[in-house]
Structures are given as C-alpha cells and as structure tokens.
Structure 1
C-alpha cells in the first residue's frame, strides 16, 4: 500500500481513478453528479456516498479494478443489475465505496438444449435471458422472480432470491462459478477449475470442498460467470387459484399442500397471498375514497368481496394431459374446490402502493421515491409455524400505521418463506423513520419466535442476532485471508 503513503484521501482517490481510467477507458469511469446521486438512492433512507462508478467489460477488467482498489486502499462495491429494490437497490454497505457496476458484462456464454443449462455473465437480466431462449426456439426456460425483469440472474442467485415455478430455489440450481477475489486472483468452482472438464456445467460438487456458497450473500469475491440449470417446458400446464375466507381453512390447506409438495404432485413453487398483497398489486392506495392511512377495515372488507382473506395460487405441470388430470384431481381434493419463465413487472406495482401519483410506464421505485422494504424469514412448512409467523407479521406493521402485506412462498416441500412488504411514500415526512422502526421491530419479534431472515439488505445492518457458535469468527477469518486490505464491500453484514 506504499502508493498511499503521504497522500490525502482525495489524492488517493484521484490516483486510483487515474489508474481505473487507464484500465477501463475514460467513458467507463463515471463521475457525473446525476449518475452518482441515482446510484445512492434506494427505496428507503440511506446515507452512503459513492465517489465514482466503474463499468468493466470483462473478467480481466474486473481483476484490474480490484488490484487497483487494493493498491490504493479504495473500497469498491459490486452490483450486477442494480435492481435489488426493497433490500438496498445498488447502494453500497459502506460510505465512500466506489460502485463496481457489472452491467456491461451481459453476454450469454453457453447454452445446451439437451442438458438444459445456460451460462451467463452478471449483466444478463431475466428479460434478456427469456428473449434469448425464445429467439433460439428453446424448449427450456429459467425461473422468473417477483422483482424486476431487468434484475440480474447472477445477482439474484447470489442473494439467494426465490423464483416462480420449477427451480424456485435459484441458488440450488447453479454451478461453475467464476470468481475474482479481492486480490484480483481468479477461482472457478466445481469441475470448472479443470481445463476442458466436460461435466463442469452439469456437476455442481466437483472434487474436494464445495466453495460456491462462500460467494453467496458475501463480500468474499466478485462473481463474473455462472451456469444456471433450466427447466423443460411441459406440454400440460394449468395455473390454479383458490380464494380462502376462513383462517382455519387456510391453515388446514397449508398442511395438505405441503403433503402434495413432498410427494411430487406440486413440483414448483406456489403461494399464499393475503388480501392486502393482492390489493397492492392490482391498484394503488384508495386515497380518494378513504382519505387517510392506514387502510381502514371497511375498505379492506370491500376488496375481500372479490378476493377473499387469502388466495392460494400456483401451477400444475405434467408431461401429458392424462397425468395432468390426475394431478388436478389430487389438488382439487386438497383445496376442496407466469409459471413457465415469462418475466413480468406486475409485482412492482406494490412499491407504488402509497404513492399519490400513478405508476409510470417504466417503473423505477428508486427514482420515484417509493418507500419499500422487504422482510423475508424462513418458516417450517407446517400450519402451526405458518400461523405463528403470520400472526406476528400481521400485527406488528399495524402498530406503525402500515398495512401488513403478506405472502407465504412454498420455497421447498419443507420450508416456507414468510415475506412481508412494508410499502409507504418517501415524500411523506417521517415515513422513512417509521418504516425502519417497523422493520426493526418485526425482525426482532420474528427472531425471538425462532424465525430468522433469509436475506439481509442494507435495512438489516446491525440487526443480526448474536451467534453463539464460531460461524462469525470463521467468516471474519476467511474475509481477512481473501480480502487482506478490506476493499471489497466493507461493512457488509455476513452473519
């Protein structure tokens, strides 16, 4: 770090910027105030400042960026699509971090139709991947997400996001990561580290310790390549929807559908939505008829007349109609009465729930000062646990004048995600602080009940509960070894 000796912080940054300009080209080291301001804006209050944005074109340039950062002691924070709305968008975890924007790295590198995989760079979005597979007339598809179609495949997988349909646990269905360490060195996981290994894109474990998980929800490296396992389109596809007006029936349905997921009748993800979540997707807050917040019970009751207290939705797929009909009968008995990879912006309507202006044709919750925070916790897939978690998530937002927008996502046959969306208007004075206080109270009460976060965005910093074993110390040790100067995403929580 001799290059920093005797220099002021401003001189250190300027020296690093000069080196980055040489490595990337003048046009890809961005200092314009408007661009920096946009990158510093999220769907909740943040204070971090970004001095510059770097836009590398390939892995070699990412290596150069990190080596320069290390030489000058200037922290960098990597983002892929920058659409991590509700968790911090593209705002760095630490103040003064230069944004390493991987959006230019948007190539589809490899596709195999028979083995059903797609290898991409971090700038490839769900919308782009869908269009690319459609253009190839592929019979395969990649799962979609509830967030923006312009979100990064790699970024979502690394944050362990959840999808719709098959392979909903996205990170469980990836392999062959290429990672640039903070030192600028490159590692490849699984068999990808062996030159010419034919099984690299189809065999996750490789030989020896499995490293993939080290780079998920962490600041231990920058992923520049990843292989996704695709699903095959099924000839038989039927979406289902069931309205539930009685809570007792809902909890009974949770157990019955869990049994169908475990025996393979329901192979993909499915969802339990409460009325407020459905309300916020179909329209904005009814200020004209209500006039105040939070939403009164009578307005909620009016919407329920066409929806119910809860709705259960998902899809059945099968290789032929005969098997599909059998699955339908099993599902109908259990219930008493966009699942093939097409990305959609429908769920983004939730972020505009409390805004008084209409959602624009090209939604951007950061730009439009939508207030939005996700709280997602893992819950065992039983009615008892689902009921207990929902009772907490339904009660706490009301204490802070927010609507309890709730969903239970069938993440696997054994685990549900209980997802609470806190939607508000950042243009209303004091709402940022109120929403943050609500998030803190909600996560703390859920944790006390034994339900812990699955994703921790910027809003969760310093909220991680104490860990009594050696996990935290082990992660710190790995961070020190892999990032000796602490230049990659400093202050990111990795508990």
Structure 2
C-alpha cells in the first residue's frame, strides 16, 4: 500500500474489525486520520527487510524454529517481519514496532508476529520459545502509545499478538455488574456491546482518554480512566495467566473449580498473586474479569478556569479534601493552557514559527480567542447522581473553587459541539472518544512520550514538579504540556513531550529532557508510575531503597517463573538470568543510541 493509499483507506469499524472504531465515532475518526496524514512528511523506506533475528540465535536456526511454529499454529498465523515499517495511525497501528519511536525505527522491532486463538495456543508458543530460547513479547492490541506501542524491548523478539484472534467478550453479568474479556476486547468494543444488548442504561464502562486500547492491556499496565471506577487495576477481579514455562493458572476464586464468584471477589484464599502480573514479565494474561459501574442516575460535567500559574498550589490544596471526601468524584484533570491550545489539533506553526518554547504571551493571546477564553489552568470534572444531589455537591465545589481570585465557571451551553470540554464530558460518562490525540498534531510527524511521576495531592508537591518540568523543558527548547490527574490520595503529573519522529535531533532532545526529568524528580522523592520502553531500566533503577532490594526480589521471581528468560525480557527493567551482565540496560550514560546488549547467556538448566 502506498503512502497516499494508506491515507485514503477507510477507517476500520466494529464489529467488522476487532480493533475498529464504533460507528458513532466514524466521521470523527476519519477527520482525525486526515489531520494525521496532512501533517506527515516522513517517507516510507520502500524496501524489503531481512527479519531482525534476536541476539544469540543463528539466522538459519531462527527460520527453522519458525517453520516448527507454523506447524503448530498453521502458517497463516505466523508472519515474518520482512516488510517496510509502516507507522499507520491510532486506528491502523503497527504490531511490529513503535509507530511513535524515539529511537531509530529499526531498534525496538519484532522479527515475526504470531497470532494465537486460544489459551492452549499461547501455551504452545511459550513452550516453543523455551525450546529454541527465542524471546517473545506479548501484546494485547499494541496501542500503548507514548509508552512504546507494540514494540518489543529486545530487538528481534517474536511478538505474540493476542488481540487479533482472542477478542471475545466472554460474559457480561447485569446482576453483578461484571464482565469477563479476552485481550482483544477494546473499550470501544465493550461499550458497543453494552449498547447492542441494551445495557448501557444500567451499567457503564470506565474508559481512558482514547477507547481503542485493550481493556486487559490497559489494566495490567495500571492505566486509568475518569469515572469513579478510574483505577482500572483496582476494578479488575480474576485473571487467567499462562506462565513463562507453559502452565496455566487462574487467580483468586478462579482456582476453585465450579466457582461462581471469580468476578465478584478478587482475593480468593491464600497469597494474593494478581499483582505480580501487572507491569511485569511474569506471565501472559489471557482472560480478565472487570467490574462495571452502575448508571448513577444522572451526571453533569463542569469546567473551571484559573488565571495564573501561581494558582496551582492553593488550587491543589482546595482539591485535596474535596477529592478525598469524594465530593470531587471522578479522576479529574487539571490541564495547563499550552495543552488547551494544542488540543485544538492545529500545528504549532499556526501560532508561532520561531525557535524555543512558544512564548507565553502568544499562548495567552490565542487562548483568549477560544470559546473558553484565556486562562492558565483548566479543571474538568463530573458530578454524578440525581439532579438535587448534584446541585448540593456542585454548590460546595463552586464555593471552594471561587476562593481562587479570577476563577471562572464555564457555561457549557455556550461551547460548540467540537470543543474539548465535550470530549471530557463523554469520557467521564463512560463513553469512549477519539478526540484526545489532537495535540500530537502540534509537530510534523507528531509523536509523544510521557513523563508520569506520582505525588501526594499537595500544593507544594504540585508546584515543585511543575517548576522542575518547566525548567528542564526550557533547557531543551521544548514546549511544556503538563496535566495533573487527581486520584483519591495521590495525583499523577502527566507531561506529554510532542516531537517529530522524522527529526533525529528533535528526538534526542525529547529523550534527553525526559531522562533528566526522571532523575531530578526521583532525587526529590517522586517516582514514575509508568514509562516508555526506552526508560524502563532507568525508572526501575530509581526504586533503589535498601541496595535495590525490590529489583533483586523481582529478579528472583523472574528466575523462578521464567528460568530461560524468554518472556518480554527487560520489561519494566526486569531481566532474566540469561540477560543480566550483558549490557542490555539503557540509561542516561548509554550514548550509542542502541537497545541491544552484547549477547545472552546459555540455557539455564
């Protein structure tokens, strides 16, 4: 497919394609796709490629091993990655590499992709990988954009794409408000199914900013959404897991034959082991239960703006008691005006053509032309329940927020249909959207990578992190896009660095900026909750209390569960014994721009 044909192809839809868009979002997705390709200048390297064979494997042995795998799963379900690397876009993303790569595109790249259809076939793949000592990297749908996408950490790994053929919604229980899903079920697909069954009036899903990701993939990576059920890992109940040696376990009540409580009681009996399968490489999750939110009987979005950067500390201190008391009920967002400008979807060049960060006076001048008006901070929230209950809560919130001089409550009736407020409204009501990635159009060939530290909900902490990020962004001449996502007793600062993936110098600045922020934040006591593949070793290294006791514990678990280290080596900074000591770790001190080590050790007997 040519570049122009790729841009012109129709957006895939549900239910025809498991990874497709719901039909209610088709036109919006088509506009989003057109905007992506309008800003694209990166040319495809139109050439055949030799598969990147993982270190430690001879090419002929690798091909012979693939032939054996084809016999187990049928040849049509094993694809060699020997084609040009097409980046696609959000709804038609690659499963062979990171479409938003921060390194050279041939670094984090798969050698082949395999498509299992059952848990038993996943077992076969794991046993095959152990036999030939070939690293495998499982993905659910590969839409972990900003954190590495579908790319494997070890170059030349075989990607196990669980989503393409394992995409069933196995159960929706309207009495218990639960569901059981496979890895290829997206938030879009579950929402679509609730609509189809007439259950949307009774129960909601919780969705992240974009609904195309896998429910399992997002949850095991501890992603968040924006209703009161926004902590997805806290809302899961029950896992089926293929271990790295091929055994299958079901956790919690799932271990009891004939149980009827797997999705309603997450603990079972004995040690609670589910946690070791989140943000790890200790197993492949093939089924997961999830709780659904009862329809609260009404909802009402609200938005406040605040004029000054210095308002951040007092505002966060107002938010904290309201959030802990659940007066502010959902995982809300406090976003900076630069991101408000970028989410218009227009490129930076429409506002400013100079070098360095876009000047603040231009940002405020452009913001003043918008329907929301000029501001520095914008708070998006949602109140739930019947109208008289909402009115009481909203009056208390209004009084507290107006303690900040210059606070303005935005009247939604004056906002056009395409204003970003309405995207936040839909998401906080459990309706998946596709609006969010508009800010990636800020740069040509727009890509992003995230800085994601966690802190208490305190004004002093918010100010310290904000000033840290602003200072380091200024040092590297990068526009600063901060947003605070406020949980019950903690908040995530999410800073998206937007860059041109076709500009090596720009990519290097983005990565250097991010690495410096990670280290400086850690020095001040703030750790990342989630990170990109390229930073996993660095971030894991910041959790170094007691001479790295946690890392050593994770290594012991890895070696016990995965003695040959075949499953997603390096994920979250966890390396098996065969990889340790061979220079695979990536950090600020590594200047070669590569992701590989010097080799691997022998089979562990």
Matched residue of 2:354: which SS? coil
Greater relative contact order, per chain length (Cα 8 Å cut-off, separation 6+): 1
Do the aligned partners of 1:351 and 1:371 also contact (CA within 8 Å) in 2?
A: yes
1:177 aligns with 2:239: yes
Do the aligned partners of 2:225 and 2:231 also contact (CA within 8 Å) in 1?
A: yes
Do the aligned partners of 2:454 and 2:529 also contact (CA within 8 Å) in 1?
A: yes
1:260 aligns with 2:322: yes
1:482 aligns with 2:539: no
Do the aligned partners of 1:31 and 1:52 also contact (CA within 8 Å) in 2?
A: yes
Per-residue CA shift, 1:276-333, capped at 9, x if unaligned? Answer: 1111111323414522243122321213322400101110001x22211111111111
The aligned runs of 1:65-144 (5 Å cut-off) are 65-103=125-163, 104-138=165-199, 139-144=202-207
For residues 562 and 57 of structure 2, the distance between their equivalents in structure 1, rounded to whole angstroms, comes to: 23
Which segment is superposed worse, 29-38 or 116-125?
Answer: 29-38
Do the aligned partners of 1:83 and 1:90 also contact (CA within 8 Å) in 2?
A: yes
Matched residue of 1:161: which SS? coil
For residues 196 and 35 of structure 1, the distance between their equivalents in structure 2, rounded to whole angstroms, comes to: 49
- 1:405 corresponds to which residue? 481
- 2:97 corresponds to which residue? 40
Do the aligned partners of 1:162 and 1:411 also contact (CA within 8 Å) in 2?
A: no
For residues 171 and 351 of structure 2, the distance between their equivalents in structure 1, rounded to whole angstroms, comes to: 53
- 1:188 corresponds to which residue? 250
Do the aligned partners of 1:217 and 1:494 also contact (CA within 8 Å) in 2?
A: no
- 1:28 corresponds to which residue? 77
Do the aligned partners of 2:81 and 2:113 also contact (CA within 8 Å) in 1?
A: no
For residues 271 and 171 of structure 1, the distance between their equivalents in structure 2, rounded to whole angstroms, comes to: 19
- 1:460 corresponds to which residue? 535
For residues 484 and 559 of structure 2, the distance between their equivalents in structure 1, rounded to whole angstroms, comes to: 38
Per-residue CA shift, 1:227-267, capped at 9, x if unaligned? Answer: 11111122221101001003343322212222111122122
User: Structure 1 residues 307, 57: closer, same or farther in 2, change over 3 A?
Assistant: farther
- 2:469 corresponds to which residue? 393
User: Structure 1 residues 233, 35: closer, same or farther in 2, change over 3 A?
Assistant: farther
Matched residue of 2:69: which SS? helix
User: Structure 1 residues 71, 30: closer, same or farther in 2, change over 3 A?
Assistant: same
User: Structure 1 residues 482, 429: closer, same or farther in 2, change over 3 A?
Assistant: closer
Per-residue CA shift, 1:41-97, capped at 9, x if unaligned? Answer: 331225133211001011111111101111111110001111111110111011121
Matched residue of 1:33: which SS? coil
1:334 aligns with 2:334: no
- When normalised by structure 1's length, the TM-score is 0.92
Per-residue CA shift, 1:5-59, capped at 9, x if unaligned? Answer: xx96223322321222122211110115237664223312251332110010111
- 2:451 corresponds to which residue? 375
The aligned runs of 1:353-368 (5 Å cut-off) are 353-355=442-444
Which segment is superposed worse, 369-378 or 460-469?
Answer: 460-469
Deviation at 1:167, TM superposition (A): 1.1
For residues 280 and 543 of structure 2, the distance between their equivalents in structure 1, rounded to whole angstroms, comes to: 18
The aligned runs of 1:240-319 (5 Å cut-off) are 240-293=302-355, 294-305=357-368, 306-318=373-385
- 1:350 corresponds to which residue? 439
Which segment is superposed worse, 447-456 or 17-26?
Answer: 17-26
Matched residue of 1:311: which SS? strand
Match of 2:513 among 432, 438, 443: 438
Structure 2: give runs of 5+ residues left out of the alignment: 1-55, 87-93, 403-408, 410-425, 575-605
Matched residue of 2:188: which SS? helix
User: Structure 1 residues 268, 297: closer, same or farther in 2, change over 3 A?
Assistant: closer
Match of 1:202 among 254, 264, 272: 264
- When normalised by structure 2's length, the TM-score is 0.76
Count of residue correspondences: 473
Matched residue of 1:420: which SS? strand
Q: Relative to total residues, which structure has the larger strand share, 1 or 2?
A: 1
- 1:3 corresponds to which residue? none
User: Structure 1 residues 52, 36: closer, same or farther in 2, change over 3 A?
Assistant: farther
User: Structure 1 residues 349, 8: closer, same or farther in 2, change over 3 A?
Assistant: closer
User: Structure 1 residues 391, 207: closer, same or farther in 2, change over 3 A?
Assistant: same
